[in-house]
Structure 1
Amino acid sequence: MPVPNEDRRIRFGVNYTPSQGWFHHWLDFDLDAVCADLDAIAGLGLDHVRVFPLWPLFQPNRTLIRPRAVEQLVRLADAAAERGLDVAVDGLQGHLSSFDFLPAWTRTWHRRNLFTDPEVLSGQEEYLRTLAAALADRPAFLGMTLGNEINQFADGPHPDPDRITGAQAAAWLERMLAACERGAPGRPHLHAAYDAAWYRDGHPFTPAHAARLGAMTAVHSWVFNGTAQRYGPAGAATEQHAAYLIELSKAWAVDPRRPVWLQEVGAPAPHIPGERAAAFTAATVTHALDCPDVWGVTWWCSHDVPRSLADFPELEYGLGLLAEDGSVKPVGRAFAALAARWRGRPHRPPARTTAVVVDAGDVEGAPRRSVCAPGGPVFDAWAALAARGARPALVLAQLSEDAHHLASRGITEVCRPEEVGRR
């Protein structure tokens, strides 16, 4: 389980993208190549990796979970542990770097809703339980994430979404988290969404789901979502986008000390020019760690995608800490320096005493959550305060006059977005 807040040390890790064959390496699993990658990651001074089994390769038939694939995952986890790296595992891959990886038994002639079909649900449950159980006795196993941004399958702009309601999304999340718990009791299992959960009106996965279900909240901060385009690569809104999402998650959290994992963040070119990548990394991480209750930061990603692989969006090729030839890039040196600076230090930032009010409609559904998106009044008010050097928090309108809630978070001043420009 997550450690008590007062004892927490910041974790620094990386999303592991294999240098040979990208995630297709599961087709030709080479433990020696994996170990070389893990040696390079450990050499940066990091303490954990997030790894991604490809769902169709691990469960090609609804009633066949390949034992050899599961064994290879365990061997990867053991190799990471030998190098001092803990391992978090995503289950339902799902979606990675613009590509969807869904088993044939959910598509075309077998088309069934990923979130509601009873047979699909039973298959997913058994798959997640099996992966969790295979790793349950490994001390370095951190826990399961249900899948990488699987919420994108439930709504546009996905070209073929499996549409569901918010209640169906909650039921799916609760059922899959329970399956992980059955496989590995007591581990901090969680789920992860891309930022439509926070910013897109009507999206069935909601801020309340993100901030209240699972052992901690995961946020994925990508400034190519309009932030860098609107505010510039060096703007406060861009360099503090990760911090904003962390604080936005805390507005919806019931537990004021709920841990938040910055599970994905990167420096995407050309939105962040290559010459600014290291400075962006340092600013982003520093501002994120100025937020209370951060569990850790996991950079996307470890290794650049090989140019020999076709059809990736251009920005996906260069997101690694390590170049295709294995050399450490400037962004890798910057992230390693941050990890070294924070190693062993307690994470105890002071409370953020001024909070901007978030009125997104009812708490569970957040029908007007686009007010929080880049260009929205909440986002712009928060960013304006941050640009002035303030350390703003966020609070739901429904809680903005709740003295007990405000005190539990150390908030002493509340302002509405329209008031910020007059301050």
Structure 2
Amino acid sequence: MPPAVRFGVNYTPSEGWFHHWLDFDLDSVRADLDSIAALGLDHVRVFPLWPYFQPNRTLIRPRAVEQLVALADAAAERGLDVNVDGLQGHLSSFDFLPAWTRTWHRRNLFTDPDVLDGQETLLRTLAAALADRPNFIGMTLGNEVNQFSAGPHPDPDRATPDEIDTWLGRMLAACEEGAPGRLHLHAEYDATWYQDDQPFTPGQAARHGAVTAVHSWVFNGTAQRYGRTSVPSEHHAAWLVELSKAWAGDPHRPVWLQEVGAPAPLVPPEHAAAFTEATVANALDCPDLWGITWWCSHDVARSLADFPELEYGLGLLTNDRKPKDTALVLERAARGPSSTPAGRSTALVVPADPALRSRCAPGGPVFEAFFRLVADGARPTAVLDTRAGDPEHLAARGITETVTPDQVLEGGTRS
């Protein structure tokens, strides 16, 4: 019997947002965690800001590490497991990079030898500090670090896919060295799956680390193009889960829906609960789902300036820790009976060439074909064009039928 799907939340402190590390208040953190645990969730993903923890390449602040451990221990007291993002990185439109990588000390985040040494040391240190905590899930290398590697970032740290492959291997090895046997992974935003020139590739996402992580946001053009109640919007998270499986080496590799939220105004607050309910139900219909971690726990305080408007209201809970309707939806799912979804036997053929990823993005023919199948009542998954004729691969995944985008969109014959 496969394990039950995990339900959790990305922890955004109600007081001071992630700047709370500068004025760390364990009592406030405990109150936040109480409000999260009351929803029946089982884990939090936490974000130590890189410049606050490693302000100099050879200085990792011991007090900051102690505070991270204290947060993890407070979570354990409330029955919450903890995943820690190491290189923070990028959050809610703001970049948090240490001064020793910028301006006068400008060095590439993915290729500079000194930067790599500093990153490894931080990841190893954080992992080791938590290695003996039973509630420590493992490390995520950072939050959507691929946004630093290409446009539309205004000042990208360019790297080749081979250089990114080397970077991922080194950083995950550092996490493993610090905390052997834990669930260490990396996580990118959906440009990995949709942007043709992204050096972080789908194959890397689906093969490096213990699980594949996907981050689903319908403000990527999905809600704008199709509408908030459309099949693509309500199944977008499920699409990324199934799309990721096309590149996996393990036919049953777990997939973690590590970020998903209901962004206003594309999803107005009065419709957020319905969107949440549909998104969660559709994701739970995906086999091999490790967990759903909602973005985010608490609203951003209006006293903090310069956030994009949508960021202020994404919390399951208000800034004074009161649950919203979306929280109650997630609570029902977390406390409800678990079931194992049936396998998906129909596979849409997707291009293995990373230079054709935009075909899978909103408006692309692969994207359109997948949701045509869903609208027609099918439960499709995805298979690479290079594997679509491999009987052994198809059998291992339980695929009995393959169909190309052209066949779906033109009404042709399936195979």
Range into which the TM-score falls when normalised by the shorter chain:
over 0.9
Among 254, 277, 281, the residue aligned to 1:282: 277
Tell whether 2:402 aligns with 1:418. no
Given the alignment of the two structures, is residue 77 of structure 1 paired with residue 78 of structure 2, yes or no?
A: no
User: 2:51 aligned with 1:56, yes or no?
Assistant: yes
Secondary structure of the residue aligned to 2:402 is: strand
Determine helix, strand or coil for the equivalent of 1:304.
coil
SS at match of 1:91: strand
In the TM superposition, what are the counterparts of 1:5-154 in structure 2 within 5 Å?
6-154=1-149
Range moving further from structure 2, 399-408 or 67-76: 399-408
In 2: Cα distance, 1:70 partner to 1:325 partner: 27
How far does the alpha carbon of each residue in 1:220-242 deviate from its partner, in whole angstroms, 9 at most, with x for none? Answer: 00000000001100001000000
Deviation of the 1:62 alpha carbon? 0.2
The 2-side partners of 1:374 and 1:59 are apart by 38
Q: Report the Cα distance in structure 2 between the residues aligned to 1:290 and 1:334, rounded to whole angstroms.
A: 16
Secondary structure of 2:336's counterpart equals helix
* Conservation of the 8 A alpha-carbon contact between 1:16 and 1:51: yes
**Number of equivalenced pairs:** 411
Q: Which amino acid aligns with 1:137?
A: D
Match of 2:201 in 1: 206
Contact 2:37 2:80 in 1 (8 A): yes
Q: Secondary structure at the match of 2:187?
A: coil
Q: Is the 8 A contact 1:90 1:148 kept in 2?
A: yes
Greater CA drift, 246-255 or 268-277: 268-277
- Residue 381 (structure 1) aligns with: 369
Please name the residue that 1:165 is paired with: 160
Match of 2:288 in 1: 293
TM-superposed deviation, 1:325: 2.4
Pairing partner for 2:357 from 365, 369, 379: 369
TM-score, normalised to structure 1's length? 0.96
* Match among 229, 245, 261 for residue 266 of structure 1: 261
Match of 1:304 in 2: 299
Deviation string 1:249-290 (CA, Å, 9 cap, x unpaired) is 000001011000000000000111112110110110111111
Q: In the aligned structure 1, how far is the partner of 2:297 from the partner of 2:31?
A: 12
Instruction: Structure 1: state its 5+ residue gaps.
Output: 1-5
Question: 3-state DSSP class of the match of 1:220?
Answer: strand
Contact 1:360 1:371 (8 Å CA) reproduced: no
Equivalent-residue separation in structure 2 for 1:389 and 1:208 (angstroms): 29
Out of 384, 394, 397, the position equivalent to 1:406 is 394
- For 2:36 and 2:330, locate their aligned partners in 1 and report how far apart those are by CA, in whole Å: 11
Say which of 335, 339, 345 aligns to 1:340: 335
CA distance in 2, matches of 1:10, 1:382: 24
Residue in structure 1 matched with residue 346 of structure 2 by the alignment: 354
Unaligned runs of 5+ in 2: none
Structure 2 counterpart SS, 1:240? helix
Q: Is the 8 A contact 1:237 1:387 kept in 2?
A: no
> Within 1, Cα distance between the matches of 2:340 and 2:324?
30
| Distance in 2 between residues matched to 1:394 and 1:11, nearest whole Å | 24
Q: Does the CA-based 8 Å contact 2:2-2:340 persist in structure 1? A: no
Could you tell me how far apart the structure 1 residues matched to 2:290 and 2:343 are?
16
RMSD value, Cα? 0.8
Equivalent residue, structure 1, for 2:220:
225
CA-CA distance at 1:360 after TM superposition: 4.1
> Which string of whole-angstrom CA distances, capped at 9 and with x for unpartnered residues, describes residues 313-349 of structure 1?
000000000012221111111111111114xx3x421
Contact 2:194 2:361 in 1 (8 A): yes
Does the CA-based 8 Å contact 2:186-2:205 persist in structure 1? Answer: yes
Deviates more, 1:382-391 or 1:189-198: 382-391
1:7 offset after TM fit, Å? 2.9
Q: 1:396 aligns with which of 376, 384, 397?
A: 384
SS at match of 2:355: coil
Question: Which amino acid is the alignment partner of residue 358 of structure 1?
Answer: V
Percent of counterpart pairs with the same letter? 72
Aligned to 1:3: none
Give a deviation string over 1:82-125, Cα, whole Å, max 9, x none.
Answer: 00000000000000000000000000000000000000000000
Checking the alignment, whether the CA contact within 8 Å between 1:88 and 1:142 is kept in structure 2 is: yes
Take 2:281 and 2:407, find their aligned partners in 1: how far apart are those partners?
A: 28
AA aligned to 1:221 is S
Any conservation in 2 of the 1:55–1:91 contact (CA below 8 Å)?
A: yes
CA contact (8 A) 2:352 2:386 kept: no
The CA distance in 2 between the partners of 1:415 and 1:243, in whole Å, is: 18
What is the DSSP-based 3-state SS (H/G/I as helix, E as strand, rest coil) of the residue aligned with 1:182?
helix
Residue 192 of structure 1, aligned match among 177, 183, 187: 187
Report the Cα distance in structure 2 between the residues aligned to 1:271 and 1:340, rounded to whole angstroms.
Answer: 28
The aligned amino acid for 1:389 is G
Question: What is the rounded CA distance, in whole Å, between the counterparts of 1:22 and 1:387 in structure 2?
Answer: 40
